Amino acid sequence: MSTTIDTSVLSTLNHSATAAARQSAELRDSFMTMLTTQLKNQNPLDPMDNAEMTSQLAQINTVSGIEELNRTLELISTQIEASGMLEAASLIGKGVLVPGDRVLLDHDADGVPASTPFGIELAGPADNLAVSIIDAGGQVVNRYELGAVDAGMETFTWDGLNSQGAAAAPGAYRVQVEALQGDKAVEISTFNYALVGGVVPVGDKGGFLLDLGAIYGQVEFGAVKQIL
């Protein structure tokens, strides 16, 4: 699969930085022209006060300092955007875990089931973690009691078998998770597997989304929990 990365976001950032620098330079030139005109047309018998001239020169220096600061901040911002774009582009063709509860099951040439992995994140430790695989009709295909688990992220892969030990039919399934610490439920987040197909720029102000295909759509780069 051939994927083209649109770099229009970086071009827009560079154009904005150039326009801002040009505007600042024009403002500084106008300020200097005004001061020069004042000096040329001042009354020799009543010349410009030194304090006033010093004040205007200080204002010019302030404008120049602000311009330099703005250029530095714009350069940093551009570099951050470019770095993020390159980092996101490096994910093209790789599998990631993003928020969701979907599991896809298929069979190989020998009829052996193979499913996409999924992730579970627990806000705290649990005495017992139970994972149920639900089919499109809402029926429980299989249920796994995984025992005690620590807080944090864990990655699992379904063996593709139903509760009778036979291979489940290929298709899309849903993961349902229960975690208890004593008699209290533990907060859970689930993540499903997706393949990154491209990087999509968003708007004129920068930013981008990861294209995960027709099933999962587009998500923010920050939504990626794990790279597999």
Cα distance between residue 217 and residue 2, in whole Å: 18
SS (H, E, C) 152-199: EEEEECCCCECCCCCECCCEEEEEEEEEEECCEECCEEEEEEEECCEE
pLDDT of residue 19: 57
β-bridge pairing 118-122 and 188-195: antiparallel
The residue extents of the domains of the chain are: 8-89, 95-195
DSSP 48: P
Q: Which pLDDT does position 11 carry in this prediction?
A: 53
Q: What 8-state DSSP symbol labels residue 77?
A: H
Per DSSP, 222 falls in state: G
Query: 89 — phi, psi (to 5°)?
Result: -65, -30
User: Pairing relation of β-strands 102-107 and 152-156?
Assistant: unpaired
Give me the sign of the Cα torsion angle 173, 100, 216, 2: negative
Residues found in the chain: 228
3-state secondary structure of 139: coil
Whole-number pLDDT of residue 33: 74
Query: Does domain 95-195 fall into CATH 3.30.1360.30?
Result: no
In this predicted structure, what is the pLDDT of residue 46?
Answer: 57
| DSSP state at residue 45 | T
What parts of the chain have a pLDDT lower than 50?
A: 1-7, 9-10, 12-13, 17
pTM of the model: 0.63
Instruction: Return all residues near 202 (Cβ < 8 A) that are at least 6 apart.
Output: 9, 208, 209
Question: What's the pLDDT score for residue 87?
Answer: 72
Cα separation, 32 vs 152, in Å, equals 61
Q: What is the pLDDT of residue 3?
A: 40
pLDDT at residue 6, as a whole number = 47
Helix ranges (DSSP H) in the chain: 8-40, 50-89, 213-216
Per residue in 157-169, pLDDT tens?
Answer: 999 999 999 999 9
State the pLDDT at residue 202. 78
Averaged pLDDT score across all residues of the chain: 80
Nearest to 188 by CA among 99, 103, 116: 99
| Confidence at residue 89, expressed as pLDDT on a 0 to 100 scale | 79
